[in-house]
Chains A and B, each alone.
Chain A
Amino acid sequence: MSMCFLSSVVGEFGRIALEFLRRGTSPKIYEGAARKLCVPVEMVHHGVEGLMFLMTESSKHMMSEVDFLDSVLVLGFSEELNQILLQLYLQHHSQIRSILSRLPSNLPSYHSLEWRLDVQLASRSVREQVIPMLTMHLLLMRGCDSSSKVLQTDPSTLLHLILTLEAALAAMKTSHSRRILRNIK
């Protein structure tokens, strides 16, 4: 990464880099910046990507101020530039971390549950029924995609589900769990 930019330019690039991390890259912006600075587009491209990488890696590892400064020291920039980069990091690292954690994972996560109690009175094959039935609409999220499932259950299974999941909640409160949660940080 060869950067011979003025500090103000770095500030501008930092802003572009963070916008790209939030919204995705856009080549037009590279062209605009390259024109203004009278440098080739590739140089802008590499510069911004380098900044993006620096910010995401540092946020990923939750680097302290000292560690961050040690890492950028290697790049041989001026003290002023290092401080600008550090400020950029400190201002935005928690936001970058939350964007990273929303990257698609293997499993969808719970979003919400809606439910409805019905009594089935008849169907095409049977005309006189009295069947209580709980219909549930489970909303799940995976990254930015949501999926929904419509499920049914009967009152006795519902009570079984409640008991089982209450036991799951109780598992977090055991001394074993508390010990682990306390000690691994």
Chain B
Amino acid sequence: MELSESVQRGLQSLADPSAFDQSCFQVLVDVSFRSLLSSRGDPGVLDQPELKRLDQIMLKQSHTAATTFILEAVKQSADKSTISSCLEELTFSAERIEIFYSTYQKHKTELDRLLASIGRCPPRVNDVSWRLQYHMKNSQVDKVNEPVYLISLDTENEGSSEDVNFTCTMEQLQDLVGKLKDAAKSVEKASQM
């Protein structure tokens, strides 16, 4: 993993027992993961009693370095040996590596999901509702007398939901379902490869 100089320095302070003793180290590791997982930025995240007596500038640099390192590791899906060798190079003791890695394992799935949700993608279809109506007449044409479907696709785009509404005849609905079934068949074939 490639890390910038400031991140390396911040992590080296974190590794140093004279800068962070064992309890402070554990607290900062927990706080770093917590600040990434909480949905809102908390300015008071570093206001832990154990961390009060540390040099506050060094504390902030180490916190930034730790969170950057965590995100990079999740992004690259780094395994144990990659993380261990990286931290070893930055003078982390075996014990501290173990503490860090076990906390990482605990939160990795959730962080992965968080990172995967960042980014643009087309709206996702979550559900569909339908209505079958008998169209008798409208303002332009009388004596229509045809059944018609009203379809509503429940879609979600970056948190906000939106409905895609349209009408279709039975033949058109059969066409739509036919195409969706073709897609499902190709998914099944692909999963067997």
Residues of A within 8 A of B (CB): 60-62, 97, 100-101, 103, 105, 107-110, 112-115, 117, 119, 123-129, 131-132, 134-136, 138, 140, 149-155, 157-162, 164-166, 168-169, 171-172, 177, 180-181, 184-185
Contact of A140 among B136, B150, B166 (CB under 8 A): B166
**Contact in complex: A162, B181 (CB < 8 Å):** yes
**Contact in complex: B119, A125 (CB < 8 Å):** yes
Q: Pick from B119, B130, B175, B187 the residue with the most CB of A within 10 Å.
A: B187
| Closest beta carbon of chain B to A139's beta carbon, Å | 10
B residues 99-135 touching A (CB-CB < 8 Å): 112, 115-116, 118-119, 121-130, 132, 134
Q: What are 23 residue pairs bridging A and B, where the CB atoms are less than 8 Å apart in the complex?
A: A60-B140, A62-B142, A97-B141, A101-B140, A103-B140, A107-B166, A110-B168, A110-B176, A113-B176, A125-B119, A126-B112, A127-B75, A131-B116, A136-B183, A151-B123, A151-B153, A151-B155, A157-B126, A161-B127, A164-B130, A168-B130, A168-B173, A172-B147
Interface flag for B143 (CB, 8 Å): yes
B residues 143-166 touching A (CB-CB < 8 Å): 143-145, 147, 149-151, 153, 155, 164-166
What chain B residues lie within 8 Å of A117 (beta carbons)? 183, 186-187, 190
How long is the Cα–Cα vector from A149 to B134 in the complex, in angstroms? 27
How long is the Cα–Cα vector from A166 to B180 in the complex, in angstroms? 11
Q: Known interface pairs A124-B119, A140-B166, A165-B177. Does A181 touch B134 (Cβ–Cβ under 8 Å)?
A: yes
Q: Known interface pairs A152-B123, A162-B180. Does A100 touch B165 (Cβ–Cβ under 8 Å)?
A: no
How long is the Cα–Cα vector from A106 to B165 in the complex, in angstroms? 10
Tell me the count of chain B residues lying within 8 A, CB to CB, of chain A. 57
Interface flag for B34 (CB, 8 Å): no
